[in-house]
Copies of this chain bind each other. A is one copy, B any other.
């Protein structure tokens, strides 16, 4: 690997001149510039970004961390981040495992968008205290250097359930995901709307899923065995709703005539299957997260959580309000 010194020696100039040429400075004669450029080309010189980063102190790079590979919409989020970052001439590195200690470091990246729920708050707080800017998605942390960008789960689920009530549904079942802020909010909205409408809901009609299709399938079978048949099953996400639909189809339960089903996320499969659900604008959330992160990096100090609004998509697995 040719280094800047090799180029300098070969061109008969000093390393600083090579550096200047390569960084678009104009304080050299045209012929020196040409010469340097041609030597770079001939030697196939590529600047060592590590050396440069060390010297310059920042490398205009942000990082995104996630760890759930079952969610296609993560790709949309990535696309959103990627698009915004490009406009600002920053680079993006995405990281999936425990390399955080290495990459969440001022020396390596200027900031981070965190979507990995396995990364504990305490870790993020530690980084934030060191002035490392972070945007967290799907969780709320209201401290300096951390900005939350979260889906307004509560409002979205409220809209959905209120619509179902207006359709005339009276007997509800809810399939929850694993313990998380998302799930708590979605369930709370569900419960609140039922309460406001004086529709009773018993604990035993809450079924414990884990956001996977399989768990939805299993819970649906339990529902079919129970003596209290709901007329609508509200699922905390689309994957579980798809599992429910599969179980219902296998057991000859007509959707929505016998039992209606709805989800949350508006995944591609849900769309294709005509599932009533809540559309979360994922590209936009990625884009916004990146935008906020760069604002923090450039010195912004607005750390108020940002809520993303959503829309209910009424499709064929429920009546329409």
Contact = CB atoms under 8 A, between A and B. Distances in A.
A302 interface: no
B91 A103 contact: yes
A93 interface: yes
Given A69-B79, A76-B69, A92 B102 contact: no
A246 to B, nearest CB: 8
Copies of this chain, complex-wide, total 2
Interface in A261-282: 268-269, 272-273
A154 to B, nearest CB: 28
A108 B50 contact: yes
Nearest to A77: B69
A50 B272 contact: no
A255 interface: no
A201 B78 CA distance: 42
A101 B46 contact: yes
A92 B92 contact: no
Interface residues of A, number: 48
Given A49-B105, A54-B50, A93-B93, A272 B75 contact: no
Contacts of A92: 95-97, 99
A86 B268 CA distance: 30
A272 B107 CA distance: 45
A107 B51 contact: yes
Given A54-B50, A72-B75, A103 B93 contact: yes
Contacts of A61: 99
Contacts of A12: none
A130 B1 contact: yes
Contacts of A74: 75
15 contacts: A44-B126, A44-B129, A48-B105, A49-B102, A51-B107, A54-B54, A69-B76, A70-B75, A71-B75, A72-B75, A75-B75, A82-B97, A91-B97, A242-B272, A269-B272
Interface of A: 1, 44, 46, 48-51, 53-54, 59, 61, 69-72, 74-76, 78-79, 82, 85-86, 91-99, 101-103, 105-108, 126, 129-130, 242, 246, 268-269, 272-273
The list of the 4 closest CB pairs from A to B, nearest first, reads: A72-B72, A94-B94, A91-B99, A69-B79
